[in-house]
A and B are shown apart, each in its own frame.
Chain A
């Protein structure tokens, strides 16, 4: 009697199982897969030639260049400083550490538009805190590349460091202490012990950071000024085309970013499957 009850509670009846699986698949198809199919359908709807022509257009190419330029700055900066911050947080005890951890999470919670506005309040040549300095030095930050880079840095700030902190906490510092006790210098210890231990986690963080940096829209939109050919990133270019009812070109550019998102997911999937042991526990999938 009790046995059949245990069995009953642990193994859902087939109808319930099937119903839940179908429901979950439908949720994912309707909500997540459908938009992806829509992008591909609309991008290639007028044929491969129209798609290619839309991407070869000079404004599209300069938008792509600016997007790649931004990512090329943001990714290494976040990787280096993220590693330093994770080292400080996981290897030493100090006061206000909990507060620091909350501050690191801030950009995840702040609206991208609010982040953009904050930068306007710092660097606007009329209303900014640094208006005087900018004028003296004759530099432009807002409506120029530095503003776009800063906005993207703000948004992508937590990705690498948030990936490394739980990983380095789990690994502990035994191996590094052993290296030190054997006489290794700081740099040798980092290069021969720490870096090999965290490399897959670092790659994981860099991957997420890169995907977000190339796709960021709200924060960049506020600070970019939307100057065609100059301060338009690929997501902003999509918006302009879409608002001009050039749907095919908009979706062609969108397909490029979707391809990027898919590549990101595939590498992420591979990392979790192949190197799950070298990632923070929450990402291990066996």
Chain B
């Protein structure tokens, strides 16, 4: 039964067959406006009010530049690593059956459920000089905690569920038909992976990467413990915002925050644009 069939049956004359449009949209928008949009608007307006002078001063600060470089660089590396690790985990979870598979599947969400501060102190304890892993790596000359490597590890931890959970449903839906077709036409396993599976997975991989990158760029709690927070070396941009705030340098904090917010917008736009981009490409190919 569709809306068109049922609407004449509805007792009172109403353009919309279901009730509550004004109420639900009105209250929903009020909630969105007060909780999310108004605060973000405050930042946008204050950032616009900085003027070219304020912006130049903020951006030319070498400490800000170092923090932004570190944040973007570490987020990029971590999102790529999380994507590779996540794709392997998703593949194994979807394609193979082995004891403990469901437990492994449930554990994927742990970084999502574990509070970031908890993850932060745990990772620091593991990778610092006397930690379970750190003592071996430092004996071998590799310092992890309080270096950018530690930051990347924390960000991979945070990004992993995003990568797994975007790739997994696509792999599940992929089925075997196309692979069977490719194989029966003589394609090797590697060719099938490269020419059949990867193109199908590409939108999900890009989405997973964007999600992990956006999350990593803004991440604070899991990073600040393991980072060491040395200015110019291991100080991430979100931390520098809080430092500027504590110094009552509001304009300095606003400038960094506005840049991070702009980067979030770009990530969000990319995530939203990815499906339609690929749908377009597929329409153009007659038998794709």
Contacts and interface: CB of A to CB of B under 8 A. Distances in A.
Interface of A: 2, 5-6, 8-10, 12, 17, 20-21, 23-25, 27-28, 31-36, 38-39, 42, 77, 81, 84-85, 87-89, 91-92, 94, 100, 102-115, 117-122, 127, 129, 150, 153-154, 157, 173-174, 176-178, 180-181, 183, 186, 189-190, 208, 211, 214-218, 221-222, 235-236, 238-239, 242, 247, 250-251, 254, 257-258, 261-262, 264-266, 268-269, 281-282, 285
B114 A35 contact: yes
Interface string B103-128: 01111111111111111011101100
Interface stretch (B52-60, B141-149, B178-186, B279-287): B178-186
A27 B89 contact: yes
B140 interface: no
A118 B93 contact: no
A265 B105 CA distance: 11
A111 B39 contact: no
Question: Which secondary structure characterizes the binding site on chain B?
Answer: helix
Contact of A5 (B43, B160, B183): B183
B115 A32 contact: no
Interface of B: 1-3, 6-7, 9-11, 16-21, 23-25, 27-29, 31-32, 35-40, 42-43, 46, 85, 88-89, 91-93, 95-96, 98, 100, 102, 104-119, 121-123, 125-126, 131-133, 153, 156-157, 160, 165, 169, 176, 179-180, 182-184, 186-189, 192, 211, 214-215, 217-221, 225, 238-239, 241-242, 245, 250, 253-254, 257, 260-261, 264-265, 267-269, 271-272
Contact of A117 (B1, B11, B104, B245): B245
Nearest to A113: B238
Nearest to A266: B106
A38 B132 contact: yes
A150 B105 CA distance: 33
A62 B109 CA distance: 29
Contacts of B110: 32-33, 36, 261, 265
